[in-house]
């Protein structure tokens, strides 16, 4: 078996594994639709890596890389995009949490002052 074929098989195996995990997490509703789409795109990239080699090979040669390295680079960029999107979402949730906490503190303060007036 050629090194390119074995690399394609390993990439396909990893892609299938990620695909199965993502589908299971999505079915259990532990992964939202927008993140499911990103991870599915990444798993299909790995799964179809063997088919992408002839397409990517001319670009890889132009950049003086192997096709596997270029596909790995694409997958890394996709992972970074997913990580960036997760960071943006987490930052938004953190700001919302701070706003809710401040609002709750004000409500507690109003409640305490209203309750102390009743005593």
| pTM of the predicted structure, to 2 decimals | 0.65
Q: Which domain holds residue 63?
A: 3-118
List per-block mean pLDDT (blocks of 10 residues) for the chain, which spans 119 residues.
Answer: 75 86 94 86 78 81 86 84 88 96 94 79
pLDDT score recorded for residue 100: 97
Output the pLDDT for position 24: 96
Instruction: Count how many domains the chain has.
Output: 1
- Show the DSSP H helices in 48-66 as ranges: 49-62
Give the separation between CA 30 and CA 21, rounded to whole angstroms.
Answer: 11
Q: What is the pLDDT of residue 103?
A: 96
Q: What is the pLDDT of residue 87?
A: 93
pLDDT at 28: 95
What pLDDT is stored for residue 95 in this prediction?
Answer: 96
- Sequence-ordered list of residues with C-beta below 8 angstroms from that of 46, at least 6 positions apart, any chain: 11, 12, 14, 15, 18, 75
């Amino acid at each position: 078996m050629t090194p390119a074929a074995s690399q394609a098989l390993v990439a396909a195996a990893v892609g299938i594994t990620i695909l199965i995990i993502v589908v299971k997490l999505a079915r259990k509703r532990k992964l939202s639709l927008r993140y499911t789409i990103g991870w599915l795109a990444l798993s299909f990239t790995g799964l179809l890596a063997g088919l992408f080699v002839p397409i990517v090979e001319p670009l890889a040669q132009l950049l003086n890389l192997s096709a596997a390295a270029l596909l790995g680079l694409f997958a890394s960029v996709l992972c970074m995009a997913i990580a960036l999107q997760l960071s943006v979402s987490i930052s938004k949730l953190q700001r919302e949490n701070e706003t809710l906490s401040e609002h709750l503190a004000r409500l507690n303060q109003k409640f305490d002052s209203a309750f102390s007036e009743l005593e």
